């Protein structure tokens, strides 16, 4: 028995195992595996006073409507404990670290928690913890804003092997891409979005600059970081595999990409210098809901966060697929 627990709350339409990479199978956990999983999840009680029902997420289902909802216990067959089983993988397993990053770059990211494994015929089980899994769990275990599981089909995992292979190829060859990928993974593991979106936005821009911008060599604005980002993304958006629509995140009046990027970079600068941001005035174009958003997800800072997250995913996908192109673009 050797597996990695899937921390994300997911639901796959087909229960048959999916081989993501060589001898790494995504599937539902069996009864024996759930014993180990529940033992680890129970440790949350010592870390978070409110985590009394630590299995609520995976064993219950949300019922009700937008204004009033509750959890309903499901039969064991409907429980959503997923694992990545690598029991058949006989070599020293360094692949799981690449796989974690590949799953993060999917349109609907998946995050892993802890490993349960043993060596050879030894019946003693070992536990490998991701140092951030408990923080990520708190984002799921939200009694005020409970979430539905992310839905997946088998086809959603078709690109995982290719992404995994490409991450391998850039390692030690393009260190700035490797570092950007590592930094993005660490930022994504910050946990609770509503407590960290400003920190994440600053971190996201550092990754963007790392990937596509160089330190300005000229005093003219044409070589500024803001100008580099706004002009280079005009090109990059045409090369992305996944289309990004500005209207999904910003005001419908925000039709010009260069204007959006300059406003975003100005917003980033205000965050970095501790300035107060007013979305009703100079940053109105960044507020999709014109000050009338009623939920956390409709907060302009969250929309900006979500936009930059998807931009970076696509930039990283292009970077690992064509690192020479990104390297040349960075120098321009």
Residue 310's φ and ψ, nearest 5 degrees, are -70, -35
Domain with 160 in it: 3-164
The reply to whether 152 and 181 lie within a common domain is no
Question: Per-residue confidence at 276, pLDDT binned at 50, 70, 90?
Answer: confident
300-309 average pLDDT score: 93
Confidence (pLDDT) at 256? 74
User: Does pLDDT of 90 surpass 80?
Assistant: no
The reply to whether 123 and 267 lie within a common domain is no
The reply to whether 153 and 15 lie within a common domain is yes
Tell the residue number behind the tokens 């984002």, with chain if given: 139
130-134 average pLDDT score: 62
How many Cα atoms within 13 Å fall on the side-chain side of residue 217? 5
Which of 118, 147, 164 is at the close of a domain?
164
The reply to whether 145 and 26 lie within a common domain is yes
The reply to whether 188 and 319 lie within a common domain is yes
C-alpha–C-alpha distance, residues 163 and 71, integer Å: 36
158-173 residue pLDDT tens: 999 999 999 999 988 9
Confidence (pLDDT) at 91? 64
User: Does pLDDT of 8 surpass 80?
Assistant: yes
The reply to whether 89 and 234 lie within a common domain is no
Instruction: List beta partners, residue 3.
Output: 85, 116
Confidence (pLDDT) at 265? 94
217-265 residue pLDDT tens: 867 677 889 999 999 999 999 999 999 999 899 987 656 788 899 999 9
The reply to whether 269 and 308 lie within a common domain is yes
111-129 average pLDDT score: 70
3-state secondary structure string across 29-69: CCHHHHHHHHHHHHCHHHHCCCCCCCCHHHHEEEEECCCCE
Using a cut of 0.85, tell me whether the model's pTM lies above it.
yes
The reply to whether 240 and 306 lie within a common domain is yes
Q: What percent of the chain has pLDDT over 90?
A: 51
The reply to whether 327 and 188 lie within a common domain is yes
The reply to whether 244 and 99 lie within a common domain is no
What is the residue-averaged pLDDT of the chain? 85
The reply to whether 203 and 320 lie within a common domain is yes
C-alpha–C-alpha distance, residues 21 and 220, integer Å: 48
Closest CA to 57 of 16, 107, 6: 6
Backbone torsion region of residue 56, taken as left when φ is above 0, otherwise alpha when ψ lies between -120 and 50, otherwise beta: alpha
Which of 119, 136, 164 is at the close of a domain?
164
Number of domains within the chain: 2
Among the listed ranges 40-44, 197-201, 256-260, which one has the minimum average pLDDT value? 40-44
* Cα distances (angstroms) measured from residue 293 to each of 33, 275, 290, 297: 43, 22, 7, 8
Question: Per-residue confidence at 15, pLDDT binned at 50, 70, 90?
Answer: confident
Confidence (pLDDT) at 296? 78
Closest CA to 55 of 85, 25, 76, 84: 76
User: Does pLDDT of 49 surpass 60?
Assistant: no
Confidence (pLDDT) at 54? 52
Which of 164, 182, 199 is at the close of a domain?
164
User: Does pLDDT of 187 surpass 80?
Assistant: yes
Q: Name the DSSP letter for residue 17.
A: -
Among the listed ranges 119-133, 169-183, 299-313, which one has the minimum average pLDDT value? 119-133
Per-residue buried b or exposed e for 228-254, using 16+ beta carbons within 10 Å of the residue's own CB: bbbebbeebeeebeeebebeebbbeeb
* Alpha-carbon dihedral sign for residues 238, 239, 240, 243: positive
Confidence (pLDDT) at 73? 79
The reply to whether 200 and 266 lie within a common domain is yes
């Amino acid at each position: 028995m050797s597996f990695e627990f899937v921390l994300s709350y997911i639901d796959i339409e087909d229960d048959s195992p999916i081989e993501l990479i060589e001898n790494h199978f995504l599937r539902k956990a069996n009864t024996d595996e759930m014993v180990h999983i529940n033992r680890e999840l129970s440790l949350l009680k010592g870390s978070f006073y409110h985590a009394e029902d630590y299995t609520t997420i995976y064993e219950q289902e949300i019922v009700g409507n937008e204004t009033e909802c509750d959890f309903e216990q499901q039969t064991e067959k409907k429980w959503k404990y997923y694992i990545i089983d690598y029991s058949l993988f006989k070599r020293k397993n360094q692949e799981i670290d690449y796989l974690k990053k590949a799953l993060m770059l999917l349109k609907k990211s998946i995050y892993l928690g802890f490993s349960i494994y043993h060596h050879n015929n030894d019946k003693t089980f070992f536990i490998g913890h991701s140092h951030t899994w408990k923080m990520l769990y708190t984002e799921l275990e939200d009694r005020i804003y409970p979430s539905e599981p992310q839905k997946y089909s088998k086809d959603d995992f078709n690109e995982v092997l290719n992404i995994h292979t490409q991450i391998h190829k850039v390692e030690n060859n393009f260190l700035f891409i490797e570092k950007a990928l590592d930094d993005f993974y660490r930022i994504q593991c910050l946990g609770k979005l509503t407590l960290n979106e400003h920190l994440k936005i600053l971190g996201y821009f550092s990754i963007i600059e790392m990937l596509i911008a160089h330190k300005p060599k000229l005093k003219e604005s044409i070589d500024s970081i803001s100008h580099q980002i706004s002009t280079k993304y005009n090109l990059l958006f045409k090369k992305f595999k996944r289309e990004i629509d500005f209207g999904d995140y910003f005001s419908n009046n925000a039709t010009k990409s260069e204007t959006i990027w300059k406003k975003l970079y100005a917003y980033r600068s205000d965050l970095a210098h501790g300035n107060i941001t007013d979305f009703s005035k100079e940053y109105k174009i960044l507020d999709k809901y014109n000050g009338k958003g009623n939920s956390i997800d409709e907060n302009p800072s969250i929309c900006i966060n979500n936009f930059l997250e998807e931009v970076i995913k696509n930039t990283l996908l292009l970077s690992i697929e064509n690192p020479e192109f990104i390297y040349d673009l960075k120098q321009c």
